[in-house]
Structure 1
């Protein structure tokens, strides 16, 4: 690519990702598949087996058809985050007490990790399940990203700079994604390689699909963004308002104050 072509490409990239979201002619269609009444406070999402998870009155709930399981640990304070990437090893984080709880598929407690007892220099603000018996954790004291082995209680600090406040984060087994206060989107792999994935539009709620795609909402509008194709496409939904959303295996769940609606959707 010539220097002139690179300049043109860069300018187009900046225009796309800094312009206000005002609507797009093209839309991604959805098909309503299921509606379920709900009085939950927060919807956590679906797992690979189409089980639903949510929080109500600070109690973590799993629902599978007519079966319901609950886990509560009120002495640990408010549930800060939930990781359901592995439904056999669900991770609840209680930031107030610097503690993570691991649950099995029936929400039985299988492991409790008090990071302060392990190392009083570990003050965790972000956590997610990684591969090989590890957690991704972000240490609020050092502002460093760490791989923590929860079987051996060992810490591996990754040598990458995180210069600005983390506005949003999401993890999978191999990657820690984050969006900083300037809407710069980064990733870090388990080897400590940091990559700038782009600068994204302003958002209210967001979910990362992979290192090129994500969904985000602005007001009552929901959008699909693809950095590779340089496209932002509105997703067709009928809700006048919603609390949050969750996407898994071509199912888009929209959570409102009264119900959860599951839509069939085909992401490009």
Structure 2
């Protein structure tokens, strides 16, 4: 059975290398994947999702086993982003076709939403809400909108151009602990409650990737990880060793740094 499993991984284009322990400035390399890699995300259970150049999504569990695959890539165009903040219902956002696809934990299709049918004309970012509905930022009227799985509008903000002196162009929508974060790498992070009421702005910018965990905003920059505490307004920085490059992208959870090129992905464990 073990030989058959290895043959399966080779045929599928991914072979994780496990338990490669190489401490470097507080980072330990725990896993390496080889294959066709365009993007990747990790959920809070340490499941890894690798997106190929064709838009295929493959899920690996925390032991490195390939456990699910989503391969319905022909109907909705290029995959723009993946939100796995709820591992039981990953969200795929196809920006060019204004389409959201919701999956189950086995990456089977559970719902598909054509946002234009529900008068969201220019969706720029999308993500799962704290109450398992869906947040969408509509660039057409500059509003943050919450819809359910059927596309029904539940909440919307005023035109954000009337609230802020700058134009908001979020690359990500993040939800945690009853709050929603519009993350704009140029203008900062705009925080709303779960009913769409504006709370505050957090001036973290120029990040390569961003995540939220309780009172912390975790940012990955080309040469360092920065964790910003929203309670005391302090941040802690951890340099990323230069030996980890080259890579064209990286992201971080509270205990993992993931770096990848178009054919190699590495997962490091770290602590501050």
Q: Which TM bucket (shorter chain)?
A: 0.7 to 0.9
Do structure 1's residue 261 and structure 2's residue 263 form an aligned pair?
Answer: no
The residue correspondences of 1:1-268 to structure 2 (distance < 5 A) are 29-43=26-40, 45-56=41-52, 57-64=54-61, 65-117=65-117, 119-151=118-150, 153-159=152-158, 161-162=160-161, 163=164, 164-173=167-176, 174-180=178-184, 182-203=186-207, 205-210=208-213, 211-218=215-222, 221-227=223-229, 228=232, 230-237=234-241, 238-267=243-272
How far apart, in 1, do the equivalents of 2:125 and 2:75 lie? 20
Is the partner of 1:141 in helix, strand or coil?
coil
Matched residues in 1 for 2:158 and 2:140: separation? 15
User: Please, which moves more after superposition, 45-54 or 208-217?
Assistant: 208-217
- The RMSD of aligned alpha carbons is 2.6
Q: TM-score, normalised by structure 2?
A: 0.75
**1:166-201 C-alpha deviation (Å, 9 max, x unpaired):** 153231253322344643322112133323343235
Structure 2 contact 126–172 (Cα < 8 Å) conserved: no
Contact 2:83 2:92 in 1 (8 A): yes
Question: Which residues of structure 2 form unaligned runs of 5+?
Answer: 1-23
TM-score by length of 1: 0.76
Unaligned runs of 5+ in 1: 1-26
Distance change (3 Å), C-alpha of 1:120 and 1:191: closer
**Shift of residue 102 of structure 1?**
0.7
